[in-house]
Amino acid sequence: MTRERILNLLYDRYIKPTEDKKDSFIGVEIEMPIINLNNEAVDFEIVHKLTAAFLNEFNFTAAGFDEEGHIYSALNKENGDVFSYDCSYNNMEFSFGREKNLNTVYERFLKYYSYVQEFFEPYNYTLTGMGINPNRKLNQNIPIENGRYKMLFHHLSSFHKYFYIPMFFHRYPQFGMFSSASQVQLDVTRDKLPETIRVFNALEPIKALLFSNSVLLGEDEELLCCRDMLWENSTHGINPHNVGMYDCEINSVEDLLGYISTTSIYCVEREGKYLNFEPVNIVEYFSKDSIIGEYMERGERRSMSFKPEAEDVAYLRTFKFEDLTFRGTIEFRSACCQPISDVMTVAAFHLGLMNKTDELSALIDNDTAIYHNGYTALELRKLLNRRELPAFVDEDGLYNLAHSVLDLCRDGLVERNLGEEVFLKPLYERIEKRTNPAKAMLESLKNGESIENIIKSYS
């Protein structure tokens, strides 16, 4: 297959859906850890009982079954909402059908969340708003028994095969089973693509300051958002263009398409089987006559030779902080799960700034508190993920910048005239106190608060 043909495939999948966009919708995804407050592992039988009760209560239809017949995904056909478990039965996810109004999403979230909490209460279980499951060492960190999740776990567990690559691999291949995120998808038009990705990419250090909520308690408590490290220093990050931030300028659609062509593919599906193979650049992938993939069958790993097909572009999965999807949306995926009382902050933040990219760009261009000090935005994100600010940072200037960003966001929401700006209140409070959920948790622990009480307060 020629490079031109490959670029056309990538254009049709990722860029073409942004052409002629007229409506602007919101898609919100909220993952939350399930906690057994008895200081024991989550009993999956209780989770399966909850699933059956939830589907019956809210008229959801089963959409995905594991190999033992348990439901791990269900759909409400009326509003497009999806109730599911992400990677394992320790992690619940609500994915809401596209909406125009964030208040509508919040109303449905409250109904679903309240029902689950009421069901869990007799078992002394709870959902909570923490980016890392504090009971991760107690739980059964095993993947949902289906082809995709088992393939993914195998891929992440294969890091020992790549020690010849000059990068650090962490030892948490099961991280998807104990990490939870808050993600939002927003429609974007073709002409706004480069600017939106470029500006939000530059904004990532401020997002780390505001939203960090993923601490590996008892291990690296200086890292406030270990989510970045878990993705980037796994096999997903063998090709760094598949994860994290953009480390180059995206000034045109051609730049973006060129960047997508540098990403790697590591799985496809054949004959109902998910095949995993060493990550390979997508252009190189389509130049091969055949590839050997591995799959699991009856508890054993088997090999299968297959030929790349044009349709395989659908399996090109990246995990960028600003990820262009096949739906004509940008998925913003760098934020941790937030305390439940602040659950809509991530969606509101991105929604309010979506039409303020010119003003955001000007703020960043004129800032000297963190920007223009010899560090890239990627480096600044890593520095602001730490518990202590670097010595060069003007702390007053940093929080003044964050406040100005938030004011722009509020203006964007006020202009929508739907009252959605109310969801920004917790972010203003974080700026005033110069904290975020991760810092607040660590400070509470330092002051003698129990992790059990923190779990409850974040729920």
Q: Are strands 243-244 and 319-320 parallel, antiparallel or unpaired?
A: parallel
Q: What is the pLDDT along the chain (459 residues), one digit of tens a residue?
A: 889 999 999 999 999 999 988 889 999 999 999 999 999 999 999 999 999 999 999 999 999 999 999 999 999 999 999 999 999 999 999 999 999 999 999 999 999 999 999 999 999 999 999 999 999 999 999 999 999 999 999 999 999 999 888 899 999 999 999 999 999 999 999 999 999 999 999 999 999 999 999 999 999 899 999 999 999 999 999 999 999 999 999 999 999 999 999 999 999 999 999 999 999 999 999 999 999 999 988 778 899 999 999 999 999 999 999 999 999 999 999 999 999 999 999 999 999 999 999 999 999 999 999 999 999 999 999 999 999 999 999 999 999 999 999 999 999 999 999 999 999 999 999 999 999 999 999 999 999 999 999 999 999
Cβ within 8 Å of residue 193, ≥6 positions away: 15, 18, 253, 256, 324, 330
- DSSP labels, 369-382: SSTTSS--HHHHHH
Identify any residues that bridge with 31 across adjacent strands, giving them in sequence order.
Answer: 93
Cβ within 8 Å of residue 457, ≥6 positions away: 339
How many CB atoms are closer than 10 A to CB 82? Answer: 17
The C-alpha atoms of residue 90 and residue 177 are separated, in whole angstroms, by 7
State how far Cα 35 lies from the chain centre.
Answer: 20
The token duo for 157 is 């567990």
Cβ within 8 Å of residue 75, ≥6 positions away: 60, 61, 63, 81, 82
Residue 206 DSSP SS3: helix
Cβ within 8 Å of residue 162, ≥6 positions away: 169, 235, 238
The C-alpha atoms of residue 410 and residue 404 are separated, in whole angstroms, by 10
Contact criterion met (CB below 8 Å) for 155 and 276 = yes
The C-alpha atoms of residue 428 and residue 271 are separated, in whole angstroms, by 52
The reply to whether CATH 3.40.50.1110 applies to domain 3-263+318-457 is no
Q: What is the pLDDT of residues 15-42, one digit of tens each?
A: 999 998 888 999 999 999 999 999 999 9
Q: What is the pLDDT of residues 217-238, one digit of tens each?
A: 999 899 999 999 999 999 999 9
Q: Any idea where the domains of the chain sit in the sequence?
A: 3-263+318-457
Nearest to 247 by CA among 204, 283, 186: 204
pLDDT computed for residue 350 by the predictor: 98
Q: Give the angle subtended at the CA of 430 by the CAs of 195 and 133, to the nearest 5°.
A: 90
The C-alpha atoms of residue 103 and residue 99 are separated, in whole angstroms, by 9
The C-alpha atoms of residue 30 and residue 338 are separated, in whole angstroms, by 9
Contact criterion met (CB below 8 Å) for 283 and 6 = yes
The C-alpha atoms of residue 152 and residue 442 are separated, in whole angstroms, by 32
What residue ranges in 192-312 does DSSP mark as E strands? 243-244, 264-270, 273-281, 291-297, 300-306
The C-alpha atoms of residue 1 and residue 92 are separated, in whole angstroms, by 41
- DSSP 8-state code for residue 298: T
The token duo for 457 is 């307060």
